Chain A
Amino acid sequence: EDQVTQSPEALRLQEGESSSLNCSYTVSGLRGLFWYRQDPGKGPEFLFTLYSAGEEKEKERLKATLTKKESFLHITAPKPEDSATYLCAVNMEYGNKLVFGAGTILRVKS
């Protein structure tokens, strides 16, 4: 069965304390892995799409990487405004279906 698992479920960081979020997947025929940020009561906001193992993408304090079994979202020197739920999603072999992981709730304290 296709699965997307994110860890940790929740993460508390001090401002400036770098860390990483993990997304592991067991899907056949991965066509893309997506990272989204979601604030409470809002829709997910697109961050990155990764298509092949070894690919990396960066945006401000965020960097996403992809291997054949997992993806990491690295957060460097986070700020309180980075607090949100970070969702990983995979696009599988057919169609436009995205399957989301349960998310990691990130809290950054000043």
Chain B
Amino acid sequence: DTEVTQTPKHLVMGMTNKKSLKCEQHMGHRAMYWYKQKAKKPPELMFVYSYEKLSINESVPSRFSPECPNSSLLNLHLHALQPEDSALYLCASSQEGGAILEKLFFGSGTQLSVL
């Protein structure tokens, strides 16, 4: 199984809503990532978890709250988002441990619209 599964595929939420994005992988990877991608732009890194601990936070606003309950799961909790947060949110995973990053496996993403 070389898949990263993201749910939901599409999400529409109001600015006062609370919602969560979910990501799951069963490749035994110990590093997991959240990226944000606006239309016609490259993915931008938000967070990196390594061995279930947050290792990189790219100065993301607190209305985005990541969580890594175990080595296979990654959540992104959303609260009081703004319309400009509308984007494709991508989850990825990779092997961890060692100096060489081989590759990231990406999920298909959650297309988020904030009204």
Contacts and interface: CB of A to CB of B under 8 A. Distances in A.
Interface stretch (A13-21, A37-45, A73-81): A37-45
Given A41-B88, A42-B109, A96-B48, A91 B101 contact: yes
Interface residues of B, number: 29
B100 to A, nearest CB: 7
Interface of B: 4, 31, 33, 41-45, 48, 50, 55-56, 88, 90, 92, 94, 96, 99-109, 111
B111 A41 contact: yes
Contacts of A87: 42-43
Contact of A96 (B41, B94, B106): B94
A100 B103 contact: no
28 contacts: A31-B99, A32-B101, A41-B88, A41-B109, A41-B111, A43-B4, A43-B90, A43-B92, A44-B90, A44-B104, A44-B106, A46-B103, A46-B105, A46-B106, A49-B102, A49-B103, A87-B42, A89-B42, A95-B48, A95-B56, A96-B56, A96-B101, A97-B56, A98-B45, A100-B42, A100-B43, A101-B42, A103-B42
